[in-house]
Amino acid sequence: MRDLVLRVSAATPPDRDRALDALRALAIVGVVLGHWLVTALVADSGTLRVESPLGPLPAFTPVSWVFQTLAVFFLVGGYVAARGHAAAAARGEGRGRWIAGRLNRLFRPVGALLAVWLVAAVGMLACGVPWTSVYALARLVLSPLWFLLVLAALTAATPLVARLHPLWPFAVVLHVDVVRFGLDGPDAIGWLNLPAGWLVPYCLGAFLARRGPLAPSAARALLVCGGAATGLLVAFGGYPGSMVGVPGAPVSNLNPPTLAAVTFGLAQCGGAVLLLGPLRRVLRRPAVWTAVALLNLRAMTVFLWHQTAMIAVTAGGLLAAQLLGDGPLTGLHTVPDSPAWVLARLGWLPLFAVALLVCCAVFHPYENGGTPRHRVRPAPPLAPPLAPRLAPPSAPPLAPPLVVSPRSSPRIPPQVLPRIPSHVLPLAPKRRPDPRTEARRA
């Protein structure tokens, strides 16, 4: 473990903003825990259906305020994409090539998930599992992919929206909600908020990349004003209190995004900016930074497979209960309508996490562009193997290649010297003695 910590620390570029990686890690942990806490698979008469405790337990609503962290994702995504595009333009890289590279990294691991669930769905139907259960499970797994589609669209539009002020998409969301709710307009118009709503934090991230960090006073104003606006909209505007969808509710703040979801996201963005300073101080500790870095290296795998991990534990528990002759397990297969369910669900979270670790161990190679068995492994580099993954796309390799010329001694970066065994250091060519000098000496 200590060797891993040292390797990650040595491989991290000194100018990397570790706090952004920490924000991304916190956001993905929030999404995973949120889904595990507000999603229940209920076993009833041989079928499985999806329910949420947010309906029968209104007091559970604040959980959605804590774990709905999508705005932070888009804030960091806009910041990183704007800087990456600017660096690519400075290198002379074309827009199409930059966009293709970003989208390839985004969608590369999705194929494994789709293949596994296609086989699983066919197998379950062949074994007599009811269609309604298969549909409920597949929808639970595939529904989070909308996030990737929106992020991909915004990433592809980065060259166009990188200089767009976040107030413009915010104005679109405001007018759409006025027409939809204030003037009884068609519900379909609300889907205009799907790109516009998430453009607000995305453009805010691009704005910070272009203009520099927000002053603490501005971040506090964003946090307070965004939170106050959200509270007023929920209390007096008729918006739902939950920041995620609730089955059976007439209006969802997330599907499509509403003005309340956008103001809530702006409050989150203000809080995230205020956290940057404390996070930078905490991440000076090598062990903490290693945990954050490893989670970021597996971010897509965690996001794609966390629902599958929960389903695997639920199905395994149901099978075990049937073999032992027991009834549905509280917090795993029962209706989420009581505080007892919430307490029991908290006890199942560690098993969900273990199942997710197994999924990450199996499917993480697909995130890096290879397969577990047929991956071409290059020769061990002189620099730490984590360096290319931790460095941003626009940054050069941490350790440049050694250039040895017959006329010059090798130039070795000082940060690489301590990690190279002495027997692999090339020796400078030995200079031949001058015959005239030797004759004079004789």
pTM as predicted: 0.81
Tokens of 385: 């193997």
DSSP 8: H
Q: Please, which residues bridge with residue 43 across strands?
A: 48
Question: What is the number of alpha carbons within 13 Å of residue 286 lying toward its C-beta?
Answer: 12
> Residue 415 has what pLDDT?
42
Task: Give CA torsion, residues 293, 298, 303, 307, to 10 deg.
Answer: -120
Residue 306: closest CA among 34, 56, 13 = 34
Are the C-beta atoms of 264 and 67 separated by less than 8 Å? Answer: no
> Residue 377 has what pLDDT?
41
Give the Å distances, CA to CA, from 103 to 54, 110, 302, 307: 35, 11, 18, 23
**CA–CA gap between residue 241 and residue 237 (Å, rounded):** 11
- H-type alpha helices, 335-411: 339-367, 387-390
Are the C-beta atoms of 75 and 204 separated by less than 8 Å? Answer: yes
- Where in 16-161 does DSSP place strands (E)? 40-44, 47-51
**CA–CA gap between residue 56 and residue 29 (Å, rounded):** 25
Are the C-beta atoms of 309 and 352 separated by less than 8 Å? Answer: yes
Per-residue pLDDT of the chain (442 residues; tens, 9 = 90+): 788 888 888 888 888 889 999 999 999 999 999 999 999 999 887 788 899 999 898 888 999 999 999 999 999 999 999 999 999 999 999 889 999 999 998 898 999 999 999 999 999 999 988 999 999 999 999 988 999 999 999 999 999 998 899 999 999 999 999 999 999 999 999 999 999 999 999 999 999 999 988 899 999 999 999 999 999 999 999 999 999 988 888 899 998 999 999 999 999 999 999 999 999 999 999 999 999 999 999 999 999 999 999 999 999 998 888 888 777 888 998 999 899 999 999 999 999 999 999 999 999 998 876 555 444 344 344 333 333 334 443 333 333 333 333 344 344 344 433 443 433 333 344 445 555 554 555 4
> Residue 442 has what pLDDT?
46
**CA–CA gap between residue 6 and residue 273 (Å, rounded):** 28
**CA–CA gap between residue 44 and residue 41 (Å, rounded):** 10
Look up tokens 């000076």; give the residue. Answer: 284
Tokens of 281: 């101080």
Give burial (CB, 10 Å; 0-12/13-18/19+) of 250: exposed
Tokens of 293: 């870095």
**CA–CA gap between residue 196 and residue 23 (Å, rounded):** 22
Nearest 5 degrees, angle CA 232-CA 236-CA 238?
Answer: 110
- H-type alpha helices, 193-298: 193-211, 216-236, 259-282, 286-297
